[in-house]
Amino acid sequence: MDTRTPAHDHSPWLPFESRRRARDEKREAVLRTAVQLFLEQGYHRATLNEVADRLNITKPALYNYFRSKEDILFECWTIGQERVEDRIAEIEAFRESGLATLRMLVRAYAVIMASTFGASLVRFNAADLTEANQKVTLAGKRRIDRAFRKAIKQGIADGSIKSCDVKLTAFAILGALNWIGHWYKPDGALSPDQIADDFAVRLTADIAKRSPAIRPQKKLPATKSSGTVRNTRKK
Amino acid sequence: MDTRTPAHDHSPWLPFESRRRARDEKREAVLRTAVQLFLEQGYHRATLNEVADRLNITKPALYNYFRSKEDILFECWTIGQERVEDRIAEIEAFRESGLATLRMLVRAYAVIMASTFGASLVRFNAADLTEANQKVTLAGKRRIDRAFRKAIKQGIADGSIKSCDVKLTAFAILGALNWIGHWYKPDGALSPDQIADDFAVRLTADIAKRSPAIRPQKKLPATKSSGTVRNTRKK
Amino acid sequence: MDTRTPAHDHSPWLPFESRRRARDEKREAVLRTAVQLFLEQGYHRATLNEVADRLNITKPALYNYFRSKEDILFECWTIGQERVEDRIAEIEAFRESGLATLRMLVRAYAVIMASTFGASLVRFNAADLTEANQKVTLAGKRRIDRAFRKAIKQGIADGSIKSCDVKLTAFAILGALNWIGHWYKPDGALSPDQIADDFAVRLTADIAKRSPAIRPQKKLPATKSSGTVRNTRKK
Amino acid sequence: MDTRTPAHDHSPWLPFESRRRARDEKREAVLRTAVQLFLEQGYHRATLNEVADRLNITKPALYNYFRSKEDILFECWTIGQERVEDRIAEIEAFRESGLATLRMLVRAYAVIMASTFGASLVRFNAADLTEANQKVTLAGKRRIDRAFRKAIKQGIADGSIKSCDVKLTAFAILGALNWIGHWYKPDGALSPDQIADDFAVRLTADIAKRSPAIRPQKKLPATKSSGTVRNTRKK
DNA sequence: TATGAATGAGGATTCATTCAT
DNA sequence: AATGAATGAATCCTCATTCAT
């Protein structure tokens, strides 16, 4: 219980080390550790004590950065959500055909799902959040849904996608994608990018109007799957 | 807290009513109520007290039928799993082509996913189970995976399915199916059967070798989506 | 839990057997089983369920013979106590010298301590009894104490025992005797009678006035160490 | 129930008082209070709530110092056991004759038996401990037994003790001593030292070879019968 | 007389959270 | 900014006991 484990991930509180890193860096470290633990054991089984232990700090110290356990959970979700929405915005800005947009969405979303914060989007239980936060997550999910549906609709309109039931099509695609958050293991045979490339074709093959050949993708700035956590600070 | 709510579902313990129903019927009622509650609130937030309240009994009475909360959770999962495996066995017995088998699997699995016990397969967290039971669930998941992969492989062999990456194909299909357990609401526009029919085509369209027209399905005994709970008794 | 163990001791409810034995015999069987279990596991750890299981009956059936668990405990104690008091009465009736009486007391008490009901006198905790019953047990203990002290005093008076502190002498002797209830195991090297014979000399050697040779004991009716339980019935 | 009793013994948590005492002091206070309560009411009847109440703290606070109720029980036992073993070691170091050693053992053990932690050695039920801890206590009991037997054997060898059955002799002596833990009351007529002095002679008189005159005892450091509790900390 | 089913009371334990230092 | 200590709330589970049959 009291034995500090030798710093699990990469902890800014490494003992005997300078502890003057910036506040945000620590906040971020807490989130990284927490999301990891929540995914491993589930939100309820994971205790703040273990989060703290892995960071070589004590439980109350966490309260300098977060108001509550639920707050941490929500922030983890928020990070994943923001990543997705950022990519959606980028992709939509390209104003490509419906099919091309859809494929970019699939690709980007697949990569995110293979990250911890991405997986948290589908593996955390909204019922564990405040009612207020539940609404936020619900709205987030809807925005993602809408983005996929919009691309499909647009594709039908611009002729790149066959006519189909938009809602069910989106569900099927998102389902296959979300499932990645459950089965992907970093030490598996396929890299996130490989999975993403495959799914971009696979999940759109049946509704693509013409040749399923992938058009050379626009070079997007690589998704920093384990990138910097945005500072969403304790209010 | 103590006020007996007016019997949520259909409770064999309706107060001031004949209490002579069979033991198994009660066991079943507990499971139905529990799975419902677990899905609504999550396993940890749901308390046995509320399960009991909804059944118009007291908490300790539950222990006549189950050894522990975890036991209840596991039995819920078991019921869902058994339904799936039963259908798999039925379907495989038809010895149809790979594609036809796959489509039947998709259809059957989709319907089950739209039931509470089915959804429990993907919405419960294995980490909440005993280590021993975790192994059981893992083995169960593997058997399902194998059934889908086997159908795909067979389809490739018998020419009904295009050559493809079996593993990823199975993941994509199962992902879309499992997602049903998250989004399906009984009061939605589509019935489980409609969803199942759609997905049977949709999820196999890209890998089907020839015409995507669905062959008239073998008439299977209708899936009892809210059917009788098998008696798996307290050991 | 539900599996009836194959009748531990000797149970009048042997399954598939005639169940018409007399009520008292059953009462007695309950007590024998209970005292055994209480000694093995302690009063609180032992459950009535296990008592019942060992007797191939069900828990509520016990309530036909006893009003409560505490009632059973008290009756066990009572049986042991009565055995002791019966022997004391017998021995005092001989009106032998103080030393001879003391030795007979030691002998008789030692044998009883090596029985289950005897051990229950020192291994059960009075705090587990009703206040009323605690008084009864306390009075019982006092009577035993008094018997030993009386013999010692008489011995001092009649010259068979050296002058000594009566109270401490009695404590020392009773302590050594009571301890038998803790260490005696039926499968040990020494029989209760051997222990009793030894202690009769050993515990009186230092206070005996003359030769430590034991005078040939009056032939007492043999103590039925596992003998019939007296009927002290549910009132 | 919730009314804080006015601090039973001497509590480091006296309300509205400085709470800066050392952790070990508190641990010790818990043990002192617990052993007292366990002796008064028995382990099972005693609740952690009452332990906490007597210390003017709340139940969960106890878990800062101990892992479980059983842990507390075991530590109480350990303290008593260590006291005994310490004295045994001291006494054996004198390398006196068998008889002298035996008398010192009796004396020291008697004094300890008249203390709460000492009494806990014979009044707690091993069945209430973890299997692992049961083994520890069993081993402890054996070591004490061995010490007494060793002294007796040595006495027979060096001629200070008459030939006798070593095992039974040890049982008789230890029985008389252990019984002290049951009858001794601090407000009685005799002090622990007086009892100890008496028993040292009394329990060895019959086996002492020559004059029963006690040899002037080696001056041992006074037994701290209610002395400081050793720090055996939460692991 | 015996039982299956149910209950009420209670206790240990966990853990997020707070507070004084 | 961080901690040790403490708390309060909650939950699971056990078990003696009762009751209708």
Above 70 in pLDDT, residue D210? no
Provide, in whole angstroms, the distance separating residue A62's CA from nucleotide F2's C1': 10
State the CB neighbour count (10 A cutoff) for residue C85. 14
Same domain, D177 and D209: yes
Round and report the angstrom distance from CA (A228) to C1' (E17). Answer: 29
Interchain pair B183, A168: CB under 8 A: no
Q: Do A176 and B180 touch (CB under 8 A)?
A: no
Q: Which of C24, C130, C132 is nearest to C79 (CA)?
A: C24
Same domain for B42 and B131?
no
Distance set, CA A52 to CA A38, A160, B60, B128, D84 (Å): 13, 51, 36, 22, 42
* C173 contacts in chain D (CB < 8 Å): 176
Q: pLDDT tens for residues B41-56?
A: 999 999 999 999 999 9
In a domain, A156, yes or no: yes
Q: Torsion-angle region of residue B68: left (phi > 0), alpha (psi -120 to 50) or beta?
A: beta
pTM as predicted: 0.84
- Are A188 and A153 part of one and the same domain? yes
Q: pLDDT, tens digit, for every residue of A120-165? A: 999 999 999 999 999 999 999 999 999 999 999 999 999 999 999 9
How far is CA C168 from its chain centroid?
22
In a domain, A190, yes or no: yes
B40 vs A127: CB contact, 8 Å cut-off? yes
Which nucleotides on chain F have any atom < 7 A from a protein Cβ?
A: 1-20
**Cβ contacts (< 8 Å) between A179 and chain B: which residues?**
171-172, 174-176, 178-179
- CA-based nearest residue in chain A for residue B41: A127
The answer to whether position C72 is within a domain reads no
Asked, for residue A10, whether it belongs to a domain, the answer is: no
**Cβ partners under 8 Å of residue B78, min gap 6:** B136, B232
Contacts of A122 in chain B (CB under 8 A): 182
pLDDT at residue C235 greater than cutoff 50: no
Touch between chain D and chain C: 3 or more Cβ pairs under 8 Å: yes
* CATH at residue B159: 1.10.357.10
Q: Are residues D154 and D211 in the same domain?
A: yes
User: Domain count of chain B?
Assistant: 2
Percent of chain D whose predicted confidence (pLDDT) is above 90: 77
- Residues of chain A scoring pLDDT < 50: 1-7, 16-17, 212-216, 218-219, 222-235
> Of D66, D86, D107, which closes a domain?
D66
Task: Answer yes or no: do A60 and A86 share one domain.
Answer: no
Residue at which a domain ends, from C32, C66, C100: C66
Give the CATH number for residue B43: 1.10.10.60
Q: What is the 3-state secondary structure (H, E, C) of D126-150?
A: HHHCCHHHHHHHHHHHHHHHHHHHH
Closest protein residue to F2 using CA and C1' atoms?
A: A61
3-state SS class at C161 = strand
Residue written as token pair 């439980």:
A59
Rg (CA), chain B: 20
Q: From the CA of A63 to the C1' of F5: give the distance in Å.
A: 16
User: Does residue B185 surpass a pLDDT of 50?
Assistant: yes
The residue of chain A with its CA nearest to that of B201 is: A206
pLDDT in tens, C93-135: 999 999 999 999 999 999 999 999 999 999 999 999 999 999 9
Instruction: Give the CA C4 to C1' E5 distance in Å.
Output: 19
- Touching A: which chains, 3+ CB pairs < 8 A? B
DSSP string covering A48-79: HHHHHHHTTS-HHHHTTT-S-HHHHHHHHHHH
* Closest C1' nucleotide to B61's CA: E6
| Chain segment B70-119, per-residue pLDDT in tens | 999 999 999 999 999 999 999 999 999 999 999 999 999 999 999 999 99
List the structure tokens of D50. 């009452």
Q: Kindly state whether residue D7 falls inside one of the protein's structural domains.
A: no
Average pLDDT of chain D to the nearest whole number = 86
pLDDT of residue C25: 87
A162/A212 same-domain check? yes
Q: Are residues B57 and B166 in the same domain?
A: no
Give how far Cα B92 sits from Cα of B102, B177, B218, Å.
10, 19, 12
Contacts of C205 in chain D (CB under 8 A): 205-206
Yes or no: say if B106 and B204 are a contact pair by the CB < 8 Å rule. yes
To the nearest whole angstrom, how far is the Cα of C143 from the nearest Cα of chain D? 15
Structure tokens at D210: 């020559």
SS3 A224: coil
Q: Are residue A21 and residue A125 in the same domain, yes or no?
A: no
CA-to-CA distance for A152 and A167, rounded, in angstroms?
Answer: 9
pLDDT higher at C87 or C22 = C87
* D128 to C45: CB separation less than 8 angstroms, yes or no: yes
What are the φ and ψ backbone dihedral angles of C161, each rounded to 5 degrees?
-125, 140
Q: Which residues of D touch C185 (CB under 8 A)?
A: none
Predicted confidence band of residue C12 (pLDDT cuts 50, 70, 90): low
Q: Both B41 and B140 in a single domain? A: no
Three-state secondary structure readout of B125-185: CHHHCCHHHHHHHHHHHHHHHHHHHHHHHHHHHHCCECCCCHHHHHHHHHHHHHHHHHHCC
Q: Any idea which nucleotide's C1' is nearest the CA of C19?
A: E1
Residue B119 lies in a domain: yes
| Strand-pair partners of B161 | B208
What is the Cα–Cα distance from B35 to B51, expressed in whole angstroms?
9
Structural domain that includes position C40: 15-66
- A78: which 2 tokens? 């928020």
Could you tell me if B166 and B205 lie in one domain? yes
pLDDT score of B224 more than 50: no
List all nucleotides in chain E with at least one atom under 7 A from a protein Cβ: 1-20
Chain segment D22-77, per-residue pLDDT in tens = 788 999 999 999 999 999 999 999 999 999 999 999 999 999 999 999 999 999 99
Angstrom distance, A206 CA to E14 C1': 52
C-alpha closest to that of A2 among B97, D112, D233: D233
Kindly give the residue spans of alpha helices, DSSP state H, lying in C114-165.
Answer: 116-123, 131-158
Same domain for A104 and A187, yes or no, is yes
The length of chain C, given as a count of residues: 235
Helix crossing, B23-41 with B116-123: angle to 10°? 50
> Could you tell me the distance in Å between the CA of residue B14 and the C1' of nucleotide F21?
19
SS3 C201: helix
Q: Which residue of C has its CA nearest to D179?
A: C175
What's the CA gap between B78 and B81, in Å, rounded?
5
Most D CBs within 10 Å, among C183, C207, C214, to test the D interface: C183
Is A208 strand, coil or helix? strand
Residues D126, D43: Cα–Cα separation, whole Å: 11
**C25 in any annotated domain:** yes
Residue D71 lies in a domain: no
Distance of C1' in E15 from CA in B229, Å: 36
Which chains sit next to D, with 3 or more Cβ pairs under 8 A? Answer: C
Among chain C residues, the shortest Cα distance to D212 is held by C206
DSSP H helix total and E strand total for chain A: 9, 0
- The three-point CA angle B159-B163-B165 to 5° equals 140
Torsion of CA D22, D27, D33, D36, to 10 degrees: -130
CB contact under 8 A, D177 and C177: no
One-letter amino acid of B22: A
Subunits next to C (3 or more Cβ pairs <8 Å) are D
Q: With beta carbons under 8 A apart, name residues in chain C contacting D165.
A: 198
| Nearest chain B residue to A41, by CA | B127
* pLDDT given at position B235: 41
> How far from the centroid of its chain's Cα atoms is residue D202's Cα?
21
pLDDT of the residue at A230: 45
Q: Which residues of D touch C36 (CB under 8 A)?
A: none
Say if residue A161 is in the same domain as residue A191.
yes
